[in-house]
Amino acid sequence: MIDMEEVLALADQGRYDELEKMGVTIAGDPAGDVTEGWLKAVFTGDKVHYFRKVSADELSKFGRVRRWLSACGVKAYSHDKAPMLLPGNYPRCQTCESKRRRMKRGIG
């Protein structure tokens, strides 16, 4: 059985490679004021995508709503109670990686 205190300690230390060896996939901390990067949308999927914040001009009962669009076309929403998360040791979306490489070379 996995010891959650050990898992959380390893995550706090950023030792995601050891967590992966244990078979544990865990996201990182809330992303804060990040506007672009490799992020995990809460309650969705099993990968991190390269997201860019599209807007943050709507308020709800949960706080400011932020709209995100990934390089591969995934749309996501976050708000103050359910923010975007840092990637942790989730695998990256291969389509986002491919599109990012192409954009860097000036192809896409």
For residue 54, give Cα distances in angstroms to 35, 71, 77: 9, 12, 10
Q: What are phi and psi of 101, to 5 degrees?
A: -60, -45
Percent of the chain with pLDDT over 90: 67
Q: For the chain, what is the mean pLDDT?
A: 92
Among residues 48, 89, 95, the alpha carbon closest in space to that of 73 is found at 95
Instruction: Give the domain range for residue 51.
Output: 26-104
> What strands lie across the sheet with 36-39, from one edge to the other?
36-39, 49-60, 63-70, 75-78
Answer yes or no: is 88 within a domain.
yes
For 17-62, the pLDDT digits (tens) are 999 999 998 898 999 999 999 999 998 889 999 999 999 989 999 9
Is residue 1 situated within a structural domain?
no
Query: How much is the average pLDDT of 78-102?
Result: 94
Total domains present in the chain: 1
The span from the CA of 42 to the CA of 52, in Å, is 16
Residue 9 in domain: no
